[in-house]
Amino acid sequence: MKIGLVQMAMAADPDANLANGVAKVREAARAGAQIVCLPELFRSRYFAQREDPAQFGLAEPVPGPSTQALAAVARETESVVIVPIFERRAAGLYHNSAVVVDADGRTAGLYRKMHIPDDPAYYEKFYFAPGDLGFKAVDTRAGRVGTLICWDQWYPEAARLTALQGASVLFYPTAIGWHPNEKAKFGAEQRDAWRTVQRGHAIANGVYVAAVNRVGLERPAEGGGGDGIEFWGTSFVADPLGVVIAEAPVDRETILYAEVDPGRLEEVRHGWPFLRDRRIDAYGGITARFLDDPS
Amino acid sequence: MKIGLVQMAMAADPDANLANGVAKVREAARAGAQIVCLPELFRSRYFAQREDPAQFGLAEPVPGPSTQALAAVARETESVVIVPIFERRAAGLYHNSAVVVDADGRTAGLYRKMHIPDDPAYYEKFYFAPGDLGFKAVDTRAGRVGTLICWDQWYPEAARLTALQGASVLFYPTAIGWHPNEKAKFGAEQRDAWRTVQRGHAIANGVYVAAVNRVGLERPAEGGGGDGIEFWGTSFVADPLGVVIAEAPVDRETILYAEVDPGRLEEVRHGWPFLRDRRIDAYGGITARFLDDPS
């Protein structure tokens, strides 16, 4: 199975981003990709750099304009498309979501980001209610896959719970970058930590991991402070042994392709059969916030 | 806090290994290490390359000769010592364990390996009953630390449950190496996966990780088949961002030193406060073997 990751730079105009996304999905499908994944919140610049109620106007329902446009492309190209959405669920209730559109244009799954960050210039807790659908793997014409979103990638539980549902690929639409004033000092180790923890999920679970980021320096919308975020691209695919088999550049748009080989997944899990030996009798503490008193 | 990891080559004679371990702990303490960790099953060659009931004769109780000898050294040097043991608990009941001896010689904790491998040349399920004490962090004079053992290092749950108990360092006494006939083809990626998944635990939990391996080619004991295991050394310490701050060579004995800085741990967790956002309401499935029917 061939997958295509659309690493994009976002324009100010949401319609331009949709047109760009549609064109890139078509291009990826023409190149043989059976599943194509767009980056997190691909319709807009990363508005969560500040807290601004006006930005809720960017949200759309599911189904809505973005999913309908991409569903048409999925049907036309007979490829599965993963469509990240700023989801309007009700007045005052929004999610950071990803819709899996199957190759016939029908919705195969909806995932709502479960772990919501709140850090300087990533004020997502203001915009997004935490997901209430849990972790999800879904069947598509191109195989069983899971979707997680950005901050989820730091949580081994998220990867595990998706892999335990039989996903062979974990897709992580993402919007992550450097604070320009931190890049020189901490940039290399931050990006490496981001890649490493996800490679670790691939290894621990014996699955493919595909991270899809945006590129470009985005300054806060008018009225905001700060010097922006330099999104670091570096979209990549790791195989079930954590080997990076494809990686995109740090600073420009590209479509990254990789082959997902079920035989490789099977082989790696035969060699290191981690799922066999999990101590499910002893993992109950995972549902605690902290084990201050582990007695 | 300075830690010392004793990367050892094992002799055929268990008493020689004890003498070597004692000498190395003294050397590490003289060099300023406040916690010194020995490798998994440091008293002997890696006997689990074959299934042989005679090898149970290597086991010893806790407390027993090894812990008593190292407790004396701990008291003498005022350093904490982590002592991996082939533990005889009762006739026919054995564990792969690690005793944390505090700097006054008293036992601070006993950990029994929870995840037991069983792979060609690693026939541990024959020798060791799975641990029944759960995952453990313990207070020592040099801080609160956790112990896990070898195969545990592939399990994010083990790292998480130990970190949630407040450990600032996860120690992994280990015996891992290459099948000589696989080394050329798979050796580099196997070793890198081993290092990567543990660096991932450091990142996901914001803790230090310290892995302590043995070195040398060990052939199976007499009567066994196979061409042995080439233990790959590479003991290392990763900081809470997953940066490898110290790493030992692949093929010779050494004592590896690293500084553990509580300020660094605090700083990393301030920057990426993952523990804040865990979805403990949604992790219940972790105690399932597999989520065939996640409904």
pLDDT tens, residue by residue, A13-48: 999 999 999 999 999 999 999 999 999 999 999 999
Tokens of B158: 């083990």
pLDDT over threshold 90, residue B2 = yes
Closest alpha carbon to A176 in A24, A71, A39? A39
Whether B278 contacts A158, CB under 8 Å: no
Ramachandran angles phi, psi of A52, nearest 5°: -145, 110
Overall CATH class of domain B2-287: alpha beta
Nearest-Cα distance to chain A for B156, in Å, is: 6
Residue B61 to residue B46: CA distance in whole angstroms: 19
| Tens digit of each residue's pLDDT (9 = 90 or more) over B96-128 | 999 999 999 999 999 999 999 999 999 999 999
If pLDDT is split at 50, 70 and 90, which confidence band does B265 have?
Answer: very high
- Length of chain A, in residues: 295
Handedness of CA A7, A242, A191, A286 (dihedral sign): positive
What are residue A80's DSSP bridge partners? A35
Please write the tens of the pLDDT for every residue from A234-275.
999 999 999 999 999 999 999 999 999 999 999 999 999 999
- Please state the domain extents for chain A: 2-287
The predicted pLDDT at position A223 comes to: 55
Q: How many CB pairs under 8 A join A and B?
A: 182
User: If we measure between CA atoms, which residue out of A71, A21, A72, A76 comes closest to residue A44?
Assistant: A21
Long-range contacts of B12-19 (CB under 8 A, 24+ apart): B12/B45, B14/B43, B14/B44, B14/B58, B17/B42, B17/B43, B17/B44, B18/B43, B18/B65, B18/B66, B18/B69
A 10 A CB-CB count for B232 gives 22
Q: In this structure, are strands A2-9 and A35-37 parallel, antiparallel, or unpaired?
A: parallel
Share of chain B above pLDDT 70, in %: 98
Q: Which of A170, A157, A252 is nearest to A209 (CA)?
A: A170
Average of per-residue pLDDT values in chain A: 96
Q: Among B190, B203, B288, select the one facing A197 at the smallest CB separation.
A: B203
Q: List the single residue in B with minimal CA-CA distance to A195.
A: B200
- For residues B213-235, give the mean pLDDT: 87
Single out the catalytic residue among B24, B37, B87, B113. B113
CB-based contacts of A284, cutoff 8 Å, min separation 6: B287
The first and second tokens of residue B230, run together, are: 């080439």
3-state helix, strand, coil in chain B (%, to 5): 35, 30, 40
3-state secondary structure of B93: strand
Options A24, A124, A150, A230, the catalytic residue: A150
Model confidence band, residue A295 (pLDDT cutoffs 50, 70, 90) = low
- In DSSP terms, B111 is beta-bridged to B98
Catalytic hit among A37, A113, A124, A218: A113
Q: Which ranges of chain B does DSSP label H, i.e. alpha helix?
A: 14-30, 65-77, 124-127, 156-163, 180-205, 262-271
Per-residue pLDDT for B293 more than 80?
no
**Residues of B whose CB is below 8 A from A116:** 277
Judge whether B207 and B240 are in contact, CB under 8 Å. Answer: yes
Q: CB distance A286–B288 less than 8 Å? A: no
B155, B159, B292 ranked by CB distance to A274: nearest: B155
Output the pLDDT for position B224. Answer: 58
Per-residue confidence (pLDDT) for residue B295, from 0 to 100:
55
Are the beta carbons of B242 and A193 separated by less than 8 Å? yes
Tell me the per-residue pLDDT of B122-155, one tens digit each, with 9 for 90 and over: 999 999 999 999 999 999 999 999 999 999 999 9
Tell me the C-alpha distance between A122 and A129, whole Å. 14
Alpha-carbon separation of residue B5 from A83, B36, B215 (angstroms): 48, 6, 13
* Min distance A177 CA to chain B CA atoms (Å): 13
Tokens representing residue A123 in the block: 């004020």
Q: Which of A164, A201, A281, A289 to mutate to test the interface with B (most CBs of B within 10 A)?
A: A164
pLDDT score for B226 = 78
User: CA separation (Å) from B38 to A52, B7, B205?
Assistant: 55, 7, 24
Nearest-angstrom CA–CA distance, A139 and A137: 7
- Which chain B positions have a beta carbon within 8 Å of A291's beta carbon? 161, 164-166
> Would the CB atoms of A164 and B114 count as touching at under 8 Å?
no
Going by pLDDT thresholds of 50, 70 and 90, the confidence category of residue B222 is: low
The answer for B150, left when phi > 0, alpha when psi is -120 to 50, beta otherwise, is left
Residues of A in contact with B135 (CB under 8 A): 282, 285
Q: How far is B163 from chain A (nearest CA, A)?
A: 9
Collect all residues of chain A within an 8 Å Cβ-Cβ radius of residue B282.
114, 134-135, 161
Annotated catalytic residue: which of B24, B87, B136, B150? B150
Query: Does residue A293 register a pLDDT over 90?
Result: no
In the predicted structure, residue A225 carries a pLDDT above the cut 70: no
Whether A150 is catalytic is: yes
Catalytic, out of B24, B40, B87, B124: B40
Whether the pLDDT of residue B223 is over 70: the answer is no
Mean pLDDT of the A60-78 span: 98
pLDDT of residue A88: 98
Q: How far is A238 from chain B (nearest CA, A)?
A: 11
β-strand pairing of B2-9 with A229-232: unpaired
pLDDT > 60? residue A294: no
Three-state DSSP class for residue B128: coil
- pLDDT at residue B261 is higher than 80: yes
DSSP-derived 3-state class of residue B194: helix
- Rounded to a whole number, what is the distance in Å from the CA of B135 to chain A's nearest CA? 8
| Band (A162; pLDDT cuts 50, 70, 90) | very high
Taking only the tens place, the pLDDT of each residue in A139-159 is 999 999 999 999 999 999 999
